[in-house]
């Protein structure tokens, strides 16, 4: 194993160590970290789960996941053998004190063996129903007591609504200090999402026009081509608003709309983000139907193949009222953004996978060019392409070559693939590295999670009180229900066609 001798000894405990998240995301990310010298010399992974498994059997299973999902997973067996020696299995009931006693004993033994105190990371990769229990058992067993070295990592969903999120935050706060709690939103680990800060605040060029004077409106799209896949059971109890908007889309909104940070300090950045959520204009109950659109996919087509309706998916009731598509119009009430609409949309079974933020600038104050010069004219637009293409496109007007003055929009493109020879790391690699290094910048604080729930509560309440009568209301493979256009058309706005960066030349 390639190690980093500068890092403190580390014990990485995964509750749900035999589960899907560990297999698909955590272990491949930890393995990738080990291959880039980002793992401490003294390092152990303790996978805790209920099923009966030996160390060897677990390692064999984890290797499959690493081969499939890790960037360096096709690596020689030697690297895996070295790495897997650090992986141990602890069978135990998550709700039994004995499990935590045993775990504490194993941690103590490792520290004795290493002759040093270790950072202890407790990662909850379990079903959300256990989120409230495990932290209390850990605290009860004294495993949270070292405020400097013990950390807990929790995956979304953080609650189901404002009340349950507050209750969960209270439980976490009962055993851990806020500085010990790392709430994951994997979008924040994406390279292109982090680049929003770099782009905005490392280039003074854009900041002066990043406001209501120059920006007409902003769209944030997170579209998925896939349906609900094998997660129908979970998803049907959540829906698009809880599953995607409450976390990923609002995080993007915060990064696009926040004020410049004063320093690159975790709390400074998180303060600036939470300010945005506090400034979002509350949606009155009687305006919810005008400001939002919900949808559910019916039968359709994807990649030339017929696809099932949501109600026919595994684990989904045939009369489900759960939305698989959500769109909202929000306003950020502050000096910078007053009256600039932010349109958010997300959905499953849309025509293609694409996540992007488009900043639509205003037109020129006075059009001096002759009418025939401006037939193709469009106001400038900046598109931050998050995935699958990674980059930024600035669309502006240029003179078309020829004797006449004819204006035509052209694109200036920055593509990660073209500009850098290192591929972007998987979000979990970045996030786990930050957990190991005790850097909370990319993690959600309790107040931020609660502010996000607070602003969505009127929508959740009204949607619940008035079940949709038209579901399914979009065919699989369409851009959501027709009403989605209506959200923008009233203002003379439109959803931009997704940009393509794929044509950019490959790096040399
Ligand atoms: C998860 C949601 O948080 O994000 C999933 O629960 C969704 O429903 C996924 O598919 C999308 O993530 P990504 O990184 O593929 O855009």
The pLDDT value recorded for residue 2 is 62
pLDDT in tens, 430-463: 999 999 999 999 999 999 999 999 999 999 999 9
Mean pLDDT over 81-107 rounds to: 96
- Go through 382-416 and write b for each residue having 16 or more CB atoms within 10 A of its CB, e for each that does not: bbbbbbebbbbbbbebeeeeeeeebbeeeeebbbb
99, pLDDT greater than 50:
yes
- Position 503 scores a pLDDT of 57
Beta bridge partners of residue 43, listed in sequence order: 10
Closest CA to 324 of 355, 288, 354, 297: 297
Cα 433 to middle of ligand 1, angstroms:
20
Q: Which atom from ligand 1 is nearest to the alpha carbon of 187?
A: 14
Mutate to test the pocket of ligand 1, among 186, 220, 310, 389 (most ligand atoms within 8 A of CB): 186
Q: Give yes or no for a contact between 211 and 237, defined as CB atoms under 8 angstroms apart.
A: no
Catalytic residue among 42, 186, 248, 493: 248
Catalytic status, residue 248:
yes
**Cis link prior to 472 (omega < 30° from 0)?**
yes
Is the model's pLDDT at 73 over the cut of 50?
yes
- Residue 297: enclosing H or E segment and its boundaries? strand 297-302
Q: Cα 101 vs. chain centroid, distance in angstroms?
A: 34
Residue nearest to atom 9 of ligand 1 (CA): 244
Taking residue 334's Cβ as centre, other Cβ atoms within 10 Å add up to 16
The pTM of this model reads 0.94
pLDDT, mean over the chain: 94
Cβ–Cβ < 8 Å for 143, 173: no
DSSP state for residue 399 in the 8-state scheme: E
pLDDT of 505 higher than 60: no
The tens digit of pLDDT for each residue in 192-217 reads: 999 999 999 999 999 999 999 999 99
| Section 172-192 average pLDDT | 95
User: Which residue of 237, 243, 355 sits with most ligand 1 atoms within 8 Å of its CB, as the best mutation to test the pocket?
Assistant: 243
Hunting for tokens 């989120």 — which residue is that?
131
Q: Is the CB of 243 under 6 A from ligand 1?
A: yes
């Amino acid at each position: 194993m390639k190690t980093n001798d500068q890092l403190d000894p580390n014990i990485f405990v995964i509750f749900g160590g035999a589960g899907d998240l560990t297999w698909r995301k955590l272990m491949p990310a930890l393995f990738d970290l080990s291959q880039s010298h980002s793992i401490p010399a003294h390092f152990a992974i303790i996978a805790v789960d209920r099923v009966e498994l030996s160390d060897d059997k677990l390692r064999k299973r984890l290797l499959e996941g690493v081969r499939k999902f890790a960037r360096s997973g096709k690596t020689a067996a030697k690297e895996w053998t070295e790495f897997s020696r650090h992986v141990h299995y602890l069978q135990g009931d998550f709700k039994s004190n004995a499990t935590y006693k045993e775990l504490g004993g194993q941690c103590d033994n490792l520290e004795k063996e290493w002759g040093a105190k270790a950072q202890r990371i407790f990662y909850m990769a379990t079903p959300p129903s256990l989120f409230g229990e495990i932290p209390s058992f850990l605290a009860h067993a004294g495993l949270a007591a070292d405020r400097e070295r013990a950390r807990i990592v929790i995956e979304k969903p953080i609650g189901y609504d404002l009340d349950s999120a507050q209750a969960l935050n209270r439980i976490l706060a009962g055993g851990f200090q806020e500085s010990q709690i790392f709430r994951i939103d994997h979008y924040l680990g994406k390279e292109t999402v982090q680049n929003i800060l770099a782009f905005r605040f490392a280039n003074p060029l854009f900041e002066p026009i990043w406001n209501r004077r120059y920006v007409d409106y902003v769209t944030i799209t997170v579209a998925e081509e896939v349906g609900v896949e094998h997660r129908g059971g979970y998803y049907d109890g959540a829906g698009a608003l809880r599953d995607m908007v409450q976390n990923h889309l609002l995080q993007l909104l915060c990064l696009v709309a926040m004020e410049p940070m004063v320093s690159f300090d975790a709390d400074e950045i998180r303060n600036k983000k939470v300010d945005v959520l506090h400034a979002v204009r509350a949606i009155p109950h009687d305006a919810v139907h005008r400001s939002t659109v919900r949808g559910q996919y019916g039968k359709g087509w994807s990649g030339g193949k017929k696809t099932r309706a949501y109600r026919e998916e595994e684990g989904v009731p045939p009369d489900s009222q759960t939305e698989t598509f959500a769109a909202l119009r929000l306003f950020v009430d502050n000096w910078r953004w007053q009256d600039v609409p932010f349109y958010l949309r997300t959905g499953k079974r849309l025509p293609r996978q694409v996540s992007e933020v488009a900043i639509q600038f205003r037109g020129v104050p006075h059009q001096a060019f002759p009418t025939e010069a401006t037939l193709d004219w469009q106001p400038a637009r900046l598109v931050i392409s998050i995935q699958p293409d990674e980059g930024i496109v600035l669309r502006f007007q240029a003179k078309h070559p020829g004797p006449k003055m004819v204006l035509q929009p052209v694109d200036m493109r920055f593509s990660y693939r073209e500009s850098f020879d290192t591929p972007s790391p998987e979000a979990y690699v970045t996030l786990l590295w930050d957990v190991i290094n005790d850097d909370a910048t990319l993690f959600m604080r309790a107040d931020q999670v609660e502010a996000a729930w607070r602003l969505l509560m009127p929508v959740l309440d009204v949607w619940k009180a008035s079940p949709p009568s038209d579901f399914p209301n979009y065919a699989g493979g369409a851009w959501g229900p027709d009403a989605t256009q209506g959200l923008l058309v009233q203002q003379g706005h439109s959803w931009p066609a997704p940009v393509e960066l794929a044509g950019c030349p490959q790096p040399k």
